[in-house]
Chain A
Amino acid sequence: MKRKRKKNKDFNKNQTSFYFEDYLETNQKSKKVKNSNISQDRVYLLFFLFFSLITIFSIKIIFVSLKNPEIYSQKNNLYHFTPLRRDIVDRNGTLMSRNVKSFHAAIKPNLIKNKENFLINIRLNFPDLSIKKIKQKLNKRKYFYLKRGLNQSDKEKLWVLGEKGIIFEPFQSRIYTHANLYSHILGQVDYDNYGISGVEKYFDKELKDKKLLNTPLQLTLDTNIQHIIDNELNRALKTFNATGGGALLMNVNNGEVLSLVSLPNFNINKRANIKDKNYINKITKGVYELGSIFKTFTIALALEKNLVSPETIITNIPRKIRCSVHEISDIKEFPKDLSVEEILIRSSNIGTLMLAQKVGEQDYKDFIKETNLLNAPEFELEELGTPLSFKWNKCKLETISYGHGIAVTPLQAATTYATLTNGGNLVKPTIIRKEKYQDNKKVISSETSEKINTILRKVVTEKEGTASLANIYGYDVGGKTGTSQKYGDKNENLNTFISVFPSQDPKYVLLVMLENPQVAKNLIYNYRGMKIKGTRNEAGWNSVYVAGKIIKKIGPILAIKNKEFYNKHVAKKLN
């Protein structure tokens, strides 16, 4: 018994009474308790489930109310249009280029029931399309494009046909709101939205940057000024019966290009295969001998090296000089003794040549190297011309001094003028608007720059000057003309005028160039208060005239936008 007690662990010594339990009843009770426990667990589980659901929905509500609505727009991308390329705007924010949803018309030959009827309809609505080719493609039974880049009326015409086999395939087309105006700058994109020319090609990566899609690419160009210059230049082509022309307006201090016009131009909204060389960008791609424009560089160098002053008299200037095989002379007969400034004012070839000889070949070479005149210009366009290289053989310095035997782009010539007139700081031309422009090194001193500005002003104001027609009241215009024969073709001539205004403290440089201008016999010039008919064909009688007209129109716009210009330079008649 003892052994049993020891073994029974539940045995209680103090237990005095005991009772008998019905096993059946006890089992039922325990079952009930067990069941109630299970149901309680279920309630807790359900409670937990509902609590989690409430938490999830509450979180969702908070998320919906706090989160940016963009997540929904991304979700419903069907309704949202996301352009593949950024917009391009001008300096005032005027839209120049934008992507829009457009359609190609494609054909699924299997879905076309009555092919003959379809072809008749196409011939009636689109007489330009080759029916023969379409028929061949239809017989091949492969998906093909009927017309790419449909306009609204074309789409409606096709829609009205009600043909199942016509598929309107969406794509993004690039629209250029100013059509011809910026044809040489903006360039074009292909059907896959890859830039193929101009700014579109040069900034292809930047324009496709998804992070910047909502920020337009801002150029330095001004649409209003561009239109005025384009208009005046177009008028000039008619007046002087010229084959082409170009103009460039640049800020002399930071190199911002406000306008770049090259004529003839074309509509960039239309796709055309242009092979005519006359359609190149004449300002950046064209390489020309710009003639007397270079004389300013020679005189600036002579002044910079302190070899002469503007008043120094160069005596015994011969009428003709023989240099190697070349015979160099002046267009007109000038006095034998001319001051340095008179040499530039009257545009004497021999006088300039004599000054270049004083400067020397090495200094001239260094200047050309510093101003980057013989390398391709650094500019944000694909279409850039490379100046023609040459050997510095006998007489090269002499001919280069007055702008012959050296061919550069008009952009480079205008940039060098900006450098010479802005106080001597090297300028890098740009069409991209920046907040800060880097300071460049000095090429000539401020004193020399001031002297050059004074002489350039005299070219316009002096009686002997070659650019009197550009003397526009209030704008203090200075500049230099250049009349030259086209490199490689002596029958073609090129008349250029590079003006700087206001010449006391230059702000802008304007280059105007006309290709093969003729004498405007019907034009009556207002020359120094006299009304005279056109009889001559030098730059002073066409390019200068056009530049004057342009400055008269763009001057107020530039002055209004430039307080400093307004306060200092714009004439106030009443004061």
Chain B
Amino acid sequence: MSKIKLIISICIFSILLGTTSAIKNQTRIIEKSIYKIDKKIAASEKDLYEIELDYSYLSSPNNLSKKIKDLALIDYIPMDFSRIYFNYSDFTDSQKKITILKTNNEKKTKKKQRF
């Protein structure tokens, strides 16, 4: 009886020994990979942090207007708000109105010319 108990104990012991080392090893691997990934994230975060700053500087209105002056020969002028359309239908509506106005005007001038 005691022999069986001993065998069982040794079996359990060896299983536990194996499992423990396996788990420990796995934990170490996971921790290592977390550490590596974390390092990468930290580096990327730092890059992003600095890139945001660079972007903010490069896209600042002052810098953009300087670049436009240096690179383009086009002299930009402020746009009248009435000429800015938020969508295509707004644009087509306004074009329709213009054509209607034009045709009406043409009709009127023709009538005047007849008289």
Out of B12, B34, B39, name the residue touching A64 (CB < 8 Å): B34
Nearest chain A residue, comparing its CB with the CB of B53: A98
Contact string, A381-408, partner B, CB cutoff 8 A, digits 1/0? 0000000000000000000000000000
Contact A39 B6 (CB under 8 A): yes
What chain A residues lie within 8 Å of B34 (beta carbons)? 64, 69, 72
Contact B16 A181 (CB under 8 A): no
CA distance A469 to B53 in the complex (A): 40
Out of B23, B35, B45, name the residue touching A57 (CB < 8 Å): B23
CA distance A553 to B17 in the complex (A): 78
Contact B61 A223 (CB under 8 A): yes
Contact B46 A81 (CB under 8 A): yes
Out of B12, B52, B78, B84, name the residue touching A552 (CB < 8 Å): B78
Contact B9 A43 (CB under 8 A): yes
Task: Knowing A46-B13, A555-B81, A556-B81 are in contact, say whether A54-B23 is a contact too (CB < 8 A).
Answer: yes
Contact B17 A556 (CB under 8 A): no
Contact A54 B26 (CB under 8 A): no
Contact B26 A61 (CB under 8 A): yes
Cβ-based interface call for A100 (8 A)? yes
Out of A43, A53, A64, A223, name the residue touching B20 (CB < 8 Å): A53
Task: Knowing A47-B12, A50-B13, A553-B78 are in contact, say whether A175-B35 is a contact too (CB < 8 A).
Answer: no
CA distance A386 to B44 in the complex (A): 49
Contact B61 A572 (CB under 8 A): no
Question: Would you call the interface of chain A mostly helix, strand, loop, or mixed?
Answer: helix
Contact A572 B16 (CB under 8 A): no
Contact A54 B82 (CB under 8 A): no
Contact A43 B98 (CB under 8 A): no
CA distance A428 to B12 in the complex (A): 77
What chain B residues lie within 8 Å of A178 (beta carbons)? 60, 62
Out of B13, B24, B61, name the residue touching A224 (CB < 8 Å): B61
Contact A76 B62 (CB under 8 A): no
Nearest chain B residue, comparing its CB with the CB of A64: B30
CB proximity of A559 to chain B, nearest CB, Å: 5
What chain B residues lie within 8 Å of A312 (beta carbons)? none
What chain A residues lie within 8 Å of B13 (beta carbons)? 43, 46-47, 50
CA distance A11 to B6 in the complex (A): 38
Cβ-based interface call for A80 (8 A)? yes
Cβ-based interface call for A23 (8 A)? no
- Which residues of A from 556 to 575 have beta carbons under 8 Å from B? 556, 559-560, 570-575
Cβ-based interface call for A40 (8 A)? yes
Cβ-based interface call for A51 (8 A)? yes
Contact B56 A50 (CB under 8 A): no
Nearest chain B residue, comparing its CB with the CB of A566: B81
Cβ-based interface call for A271 (8 A)? no
CB proximity of A180 to chain B, nearest CB, Å: 8
Task: Knowing A61-B23, A61-B30, A181-B62 are in contact, say whether A47-B38 is a contact too (CB < 8 A).
Answer: no
Nearest chain B residue, comparing its CB with the CB of A178: B60
CA distance A51 to B16 in the complex (A): 7
What chain A residues lie within 8 Å of B41 (beta carbons)? 69, 73
Contact B31 A47 (CB under 8 A): no
What chain B residues lie within 8 Å of A47 (beta carbons)? 9, 12-13, 16
Task: Knowing A58-B23, A61-B27, A76-B39 are in contact, say whether A474-B16 is a contact too (CB < 8 A).
Answer: no
Cβ-based interface call for B74 (8 A)? no
Cβ-based interface call for B106 (8 A)? no
Contact string, B65-76, partner A, CB cutoff 8 A, digits 1/0? 100000000000
Contact A73 B42 (CB under 8 A): yes
Cβ-based interface call for B94 (8 A)? yes
CB proximity of A174 to chain B, nearest CB, Å: 11
Contact string, B10-23, partner A, CB cutoff 8 A, digits 1/0? 10110011011001
Nearest chain A residue, comparing its CB with the CB of B39: A79
Cβ-based interface call for B79 (8 A)? yes
For this complex, 12 residue pairs linking A to B, each with C-beta atoms less than 8 Å apart, are: A44-B9, A64-B30, A73-B42, A76-B42, A79-B38, A79-B42, A81-B42, A95-B53, A175-B53, A556-B79, A556-B80, A572-B82
Which residue numbers of A lie inside 8 Å of B, CB to CB? 36, 39-40, 43-44, 46-47, 50-51, 53-54, 57-58, 60-61, 64, 69, 72-73, 76, 79-81, 94-96, 98, 100, 175, 177-181, 223-224, 227-228, 231, 473-474, 552-553, 555-556, 559-560, 570-575
Please name 17 further chain A to chain B contacts, defined as beta carbons within 8 Å, in addition to the given A72-B34, A175-B53, A552-B78, sorted by A numbering. A40-B5, A40-B9, A50-B20, A51-B16, A58-B23, A72-B35, A79-B38, A79-B43, A80-B45, A81-B49, A95-B52, A227-B65, A473-B80, A474-B81, A556-B81, A559-B81, A574-B97
Top 6 A-B residue pairs of the complex, sorted by shortest distance between their CB atoms: A227-B61, A79-B42, A50-B16, A95-B56, A43-B9, A177-B56
